[in-house]
């Protein structure tokens, strides 16, 4: 009996799993470009998704881009690319240009939002988006829609009151929410063991009456599998799930951080060897879906896309200063 490749056993087509890989590589390329631009003094701030692409890709493909809702957090670059944003939109945000669909250059990069795509606008105080997702899910339930709401956050953020209030609310009302914790081992400089007295963030779900699932966040296909299960359950009226994807933040917290002050280079190098993008690449090669030539073609396309986006975004106009006063309230026309 010939082995069915893992992705097919999970219900993903060859084209889909290749797309997944392409989004991960694209997210990494956009992220790296932002760092270059930051170091060149062209964009004042970068917050990174490096190391968390696989978790986001798995989750993104398990959701339905046509109906589900997102309340993402600042590291979800790969997720929002899957959801319809592009290198161009995110570079527009990095350069704080008026055409940025997230906020028109009002917010720092990484503060995603887009009504057209059902991505609710996020802010900087961590965890505030978690009850919003519960409210969206409540609306879905009240209207009898079968959409689910996905919300993500870091492990440090799972100590915020809003995390606990939101999970409890969703548990009591059995709402279709996917709580997705991207545990990257650090909250800026503070390691996980100084954030949590319990072993896993997922353990906290028990207190709220629903399932907590731990998944290897460097394995996009495994993340896809568990998120898919949670989504199916939520659509069937089975309520929320807390999923903890164990990942690692390969870059410093942000462009203003120096992570050498709190973790060793050896530790980071070790984590890099388990990078989810490389693991996906090896998988695709092993099942015969990718060879060097195809890989090189893909990388060239991505490079061209990121180059074009950078050029476009750099040249795009800023918001006019007179727009400062706009949109505090609905404009009276």
Partner 1 sequence: MAVKLYIEAIHDALAEEMARDARVFVLGEDVGVRGGVFRVTQGLLERFGEARVIDTPLTESAIVGVAIGASAAGLIPVAEIQFADFILPAVNQIISEAAKMRYRSNNDWNCPMVIRAPYGGGVHGALYHSQSVEALFTHVPGLKVVTPATPADAAGLLRAAIRDPDPVLYFEHKKLYRSVRGEVAESDDPVPIGRAKVQREGDDITVITYGLGVHLALEAAGRLADDGISAHVLDLRTLRPLDEEAILEAARRTGKVLIVHEDNKVCGVGAEVSAMIAEHALFDLDAPIRRLAGPEVPAMGFAPTLEKAYMLSVDGVAEAMRALARF
Ligand X SMILES: Cc1ncc(C[n+]2csc(CCOP(=O)(O)OP(=O)(O)O)c2C)c(N)n1
SS3 109: coil
Q: What is the DSSP letter of 318?
A: P
- The total number of residues shown for the chain amounts to 333
110 scored as a contact of Mg ion (CB under 5 A):
no
Other residues' Cβ atoms within 10 Å of the Cβ of residue 258: 9
Other residues' Cβ atoms within 10 Å of the Cβ of residue 236: 10
Active-site annotation, residues: 249, 253, 262
How near is the Cβ of 206 to ligand X at its closest, in Å?
20
Q: By C-beta, is 51 or 105 nearer to partner 1?
A: 105
Residue 327: which residues within 8 A CB-CB, separation 6 or more? none
How near is the Cβ of 173 to partner 1 at its closest, in Å?
8
Q: By C-beta, is 114 or 182 nearer to partner 1?
A: 114
Question: By C-alpha distance, which of 28, 41, 80, 33 is closest to 308?
Answer: 33
Residues that bind partner 1 (CB under 8 A): 69, 71, 101-104, 106-107, 111, 113-115, 120-121, 123-125, 128, 130-140, 142-143, 149, 161-162, 165-166, 168-169, 172-173, 326-331
Choosing from 48, 158, 184, 251, the residue that interacts with Mg ion (CB under 5 A) is 184
**Integer distance in angstroms from the first to the last C-alpha of the chain?**
69
How near is the Cβ of 304 to partner 1 at its closest, in Å?
29
Question: Hey, which residues between 124 and 163 contact Mg ion (CB under 5 A)?
Answer: 154-156
154's enclosing H/E stretch is: strand 149-154
Question: Hey, which residues between 220 and 249 contact ligand X (CB under 6 A)?
Answer: 249
String of contacts with ligand X for each residue 252-291, x by CB under 6 A: -x--------------------------------------
String of contacts with ligand X for each residue 169-188, x by CB under 6 A: -------------x-x-xxx
Question: Hey, which residues between 309 and 328 contact ligand X (CB under 6 A)?
Answer: none
Q: By C-beta, is 41 or 66 nearer to partner 1?
A: 66
125 scored as a contact of ligand X (CB under 6 A):
yes
Residue 245: which residues within 8 A CB-CB, separation 6 or more? 52, 55, 58, 59, 180, 181, 182, 183, 215, 216, 217, 223
**Cα dihedral across residues 156, 157, 160, 166: positive or negative:** negative
How near is the Cβ of 211 to ligand X at its closest, in Å?
21
3-state secondary structure 176-243: CEEEEEEECCEECCEEHHHCCCCCCHHHHHHHHCCEEEEEECCCHHHHHHHHHHHHHHHHCCCCCEEE
* Residue 157 binds which entry of ligand X, partner 1, Mg ion, none, CB below 5-8 Å type-dependent: ligand X
Q: How far is the C-alpha of 144 from the C-alpha of 185, rounded, in Å?
A: 38
Specify the stretch interacting with Mg ion by CB under 5 A; choose among 74-82, 104-112, 176-184, 322-330: 176-184
* Residue 329 binds which entry of Mg ion, partner 1, ligand X, none, CB below 5-8 Å type-dependent: partner 1
Question: Residue 127 region, left (φ>0) first, then alpha (ψ -120 to 50), else beta?
Answer: left
How near is the Cβ of 78 to ligand X at its closest, in Å?
13
CB 245 within 8 A of CB 55: yes
152 scored as a contact of ligand X (CB under 6 A):
no
Q: Which residues bind ligand X (CB under 6 A)?
A: 75, 124-126, 153-157, 182, 184, 186-188, 249, 253
């Amino acid at each position: 009996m010939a082995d069915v490749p893992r992705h097919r056993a999970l219900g993903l087509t060859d084209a889909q799993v290749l797309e997944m890989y392409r989004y991960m590589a694209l997210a990494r390329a956009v992220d790296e470009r932002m760092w270059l631009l930051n170091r060149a003094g062209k964009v004042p701030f970068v917050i990174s998704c490096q190391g968390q692409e696989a978790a986001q890709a798995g989750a993104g493909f398990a959701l339905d881009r046509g109906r589900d809702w997102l309340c993402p957090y600042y590291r979800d670059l790969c997720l929002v690319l899957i959801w319809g944003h592009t290198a161009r939109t995110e570079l527009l945000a990095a350069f704080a240009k008026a055409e940025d669909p997230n906020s028109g250059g009002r917010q720092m990069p990484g503060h995603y939002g887009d009504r057209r795509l059902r991505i609710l606008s996020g802010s900087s105080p961590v965890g505030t988006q978690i009850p919003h997702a519960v409210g969206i899910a409540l609306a879905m339930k009240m209207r009898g829609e079968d959409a689910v709401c996905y919300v993500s956050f870091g492990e440090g953020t799972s100590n915020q009151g809003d995390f606990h209030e939101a999970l409890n609310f969703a548990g009591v009302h059995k709402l279709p929410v996917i709580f997705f914790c991207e545990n990257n081992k650090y909250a800026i400089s503070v390691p996980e063991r100084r954030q949590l007295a319990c072993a896993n963030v997922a353990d906290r779900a028990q207190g709220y009456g629903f399932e907590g699932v731990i998944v290897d966040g460097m394995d996009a296909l495994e993340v896809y599998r568990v998120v898919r299960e949670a989504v199916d359950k939520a659509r069937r009226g089975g309520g929320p799930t807390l999923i903890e994807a164990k990942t690692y933040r390969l870059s410093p917290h942000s462009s203003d951080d120096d992570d050498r002050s709190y973790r060793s280079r050896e530790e980071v190098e070790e984590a890099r060897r388990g990078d989810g993008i490389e693991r996906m690449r090896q998988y695709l090669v092993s099942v015969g879906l990718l060879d060097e030539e195809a890989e090189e073609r893909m990388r060239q396309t991505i490079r061209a896309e990121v180059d074009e986006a950078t050029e476009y975004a750099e040249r795009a106009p800023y918001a006019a200063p007179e727009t400062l006063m706009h949109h505090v309230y609905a404009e009276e026309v």
